[in-house]
Structure 1
Amino acid sequence: MRVMKWSIIALAVAAGTSQMAFASSQSESKGFVEDSSLNVKTRMLYFSRDPRNSTAPTDGSPRRSEETGLGFLGTYESGFTQGAVGFGVDAIGMLGIKLDSGKGRAGTGQFPTGSDGRSEDSFSEGGGAVKMRISDTVLKYGTQFTALPVLATDDSRLLPETIEGFLLTSKEINGLELNAGHFTALNAQSQSYHDSIGGKDRQTGIKGPGLTSADVLGGSYSFTDNLSTSLYYSKVEDYWRKYYANVNWALPINDEQGLVFDVNFYDTKSDGAALYTAYDGDKLDNQAFSLSAAYNIGAHTFTLAHQRITGEGDYGYGIDGGGTIFLANSVARSDFNAEDERSWQARYDLNMASYGVPGLSFMTRYVTGEGANVEGTTNGKEWERDIEAKYVLQEGPAKDLSFRVRQATYRSADGVYYGSSSLDELRLIVEYPLSIL
Structure 2
Amino acid sequence: MYKSSLALAVAVGVLAQQAGAAGFVEDSKLSLSSRTFYYENDSHAASTTQNNQRETAEVLKLDYKSGFTQGTIGVGIDAQYIYGLHLDGGAGHHPATGNSFWPSDSDGTAQNDLQRGDANVKFRLSKTELHVGGALAPQLPILLANDSRAMPQNFDGGIITSKEINDLTVTAGQLEHSTGRASTNSTALSVAGATKASNQFRFAGADYKLTKDLTLQYYFANLDDFYTQNFFGLIHVLPLGEDQSFKTDLRYFDSRSDGKNSSDTAGYAFNNNGGYAKHAGEVDNKTWSSMFTYQLGGHSVLVGYQSVSDDGGFVLLNQGSVTKNGKSAAQGGISEDNGGTSFYLFTDATVNSFIRAGENSKFAQYSYDFARLGVPGLKASINYIKGDDIKGTGPALGEHFSEWERDARIDYVVQTGYLKGFGTTLRTGSYHVSDTVGNGTTRSADQTRLIFNYTYNFL
Does residue 258 of structure 1 match 2:249?
Answer: no
How far residue 224 of structure 1 moved from its aligned partner, in angstroms, is 2.3
Which one of 98, 102, 121 corresponds to residue 111 of structure 1?
102
Does residue 432 of structure 1 match 2:420?
Answer: no
Question: Who is 1:145 aligned against?
Answer: 137
Does residue 410 of structure 1 match 2:409?
Answer: no
1:75-114 aligned within 5 A:
75-102=63-90, 104-107=92-95, 108-114=99-105
1:254-293 aligned within 5 A:
254-274=241-261, 275=268, 276-278=270-272, 279-280=276-277, 281-293=280-292
Distance 1:285 1:235, change over 3 A: same
Which one of 49, 56, 71 corresponds to residue 68 of structure 1?
56
Does residue 220 of structure 1 match 2:219?
Answer: no
d(CA) in 2 for partners of 1:287, 1:198: 19
Task: Give the 3-state SS of the residue equivalent to 1:327 in structure 2.
Answer: coil
d(CA) in 2 for partners of 1:244, 1:198: 19
Aligned AA (2:115): S
How far residue 105 of structure 1 moved from its aligned partner, in angstroms, is 0.8
How far residue 66 of structure 1 moved from its aligned partner, in angstroms, is 0.7
Instruction: Encode CA deviations 1:313-336: one digit per residue, 9 max, x unaligned.
Output: 100213387445211222111111
Distance 1:211 1:186, change over 3 A: farther
Question: Who is 1:51 aligned against?
Answer: 43
d(CA) in 1 for partners of 2:222, 2:385: 30
Does residue 244 of structure 1 match 2:231?
Answer: yes
Distance 1:421 1:119, change over 3 A: same
Which one of 418, 423, 430 corresponds to residue 445 of structure 2?
423
d(CA) in 1 for partners of 2:389, 2:114: 41
Task: Give the 3-state SS of the residue equivalent to 1:100 in structure 2.
Answer: coil
Task: Give the 3-state SS of the residue equivalent to 2:371 in structure 1.
Answer: helix
Please tell me whether the aligned partners of residues 190 and 226 of structure 2 are also in contact (alpha carbons under 8 angstroms): no
The aligned length equals: 400
Distance 1:344 1:147, change over 3 A: same
Structure with the higher fraction of residues in strand conformation = 1
Instruction: Encode CA deviations 1:174-216: one digit per residue, 9 max, x unaligned.
Output: 2111011011111111111132765332xxxxx4234411001
Please tell me whether the aligned partners of residues 277 and 313 of structure 1 are also in contact (alpha carbons under 8 angstroms): no
How far residue 38 of structure 1 moved from its aligned partner, in angstroms, is 1.0
d(CA) in 2 for partners of 1:428, 1:417: 30
Aligned AA (2:296): I
Moved more, 253-262 or 106-115: 106-115
Question: Who is 2:192 aligned against?
Answer: 200
d(CA) in 1 for partners of 2:244, 2:147: 32
Please tell me whether the aligned partners of residues 433 and 444 of structure 2 are also in contact (alpha carbons under 8 angstroms): yes
Instruction: Encode CA deviations 1:296-327: one digit per residue, 9 max, x unaligned.
Output: 11111111010010142100213387445211
Question: Who is 2:119 aligned against?
Answer: 128
Please tell me whether the aligned partners of residues 87 and 133 of structure 1 are also in contact (alpha carbons under 8 angstroms): yes
1:153-192 aligned within 5 A:
153-192=145-184
Does residue 341 of structure 1 match 2:363?
Answer: no
Question: Who is 1:400 aligned against?
Answer: 421
d(CA) in 2 for partners of 1:190, 1:88: 29
For structure 2, which runs of at least 5 residues remain unmatched after alignment?
Answer: 1-20, 262-267, 320-338
Distance 1:208 1:284, change over 3 A: same
Distance 1:197 1:213, change over 3 A: closer
Please tell me whether the aligned partners of residues 411 and 423 of structure 2 are also in contact (alpha carbons under 8 angstroms): yes
Instruction: Encode CA deviations 1:135-192: one digit per residue, 9 max, x unaligned.
Output: 0101110011111111221111101111000111101112111011011111111111
Please tell me whether the aligned partners of residues 152 and 322 of structure 1 are also in contact (alpha carbons under 8 angstroms): no
Please tell me whether the aligned partners of residues 366 and 384 of structure 1 are also in contact (alpha carbons under 8 angstroms): yes
d(CA) in 2 for partners of 1:102, 1:236: 40
d(CA) in 2 for partners of 1:417, 1:69: 33
d(CA) in 2 for partners of 1:418, 1:294: 33
Aligned AA (1:394): Q
1:342-381 aligned within 5 A:
342-375=360-393, 376-377=396-397, 378-381=399-402
Aligned AA (2:447): E
Distance 1:211 1:187, change over 3 A: farther
Question: Who is 2:409 aligned against?
Answer: 388
Distance 1:398 1:197, change over 3 A: farther
Aligned AA (1:208): T
Calculate percent identity across the aligned residue pairs: 29
Task: Give the 3-state SS of the residue equivalent to 1:62 in structure 2.
Answer: helix
d(CA) in 1 for partners of 2:439, 2:250: 24
Please tell me whether the aligned partners of residues 286 and 312 of structure 1 are also in contact (alpha carbons under 8 angstroms): yes
How far residue 62 of structure 1 moved from its aligned partner, in angstroms, is 1.7
TM-score scaled by structure 2?
A: 0.83
d(CA) in 2 for partners of 1:272, 1:61: 39
Which one of 20, 34, 41 corresponds to residue 33 of structure 2?
41
d(CA) in 2 for partners of 1:328, 1:270: 24
d(CA) in 2 for partners of 1:323, 1:222: 27
d(CA) in 1 for partners of 2:363, 2:222: 30
Please tell me whether the aligned partners of residues 192 and 271 of structure 2 are also in contact (alpha carbons under 8 angstroms): no
Instruction: Encode CA deviations 1:261-306: one digit per residue, 9 max, x unaligned.
Output: 1011111111111121544415221101110000111111111010
How far residue 40 of structure 1 moved from its aligned partner, in angstroms, is 1.7
Please tell me whether the aligned partners of residues 182 and 215 of structure 1 are also in contact (alpha carbons under 8 angstroms): yes
TM-score scaled by structure 1?
A: 0.87
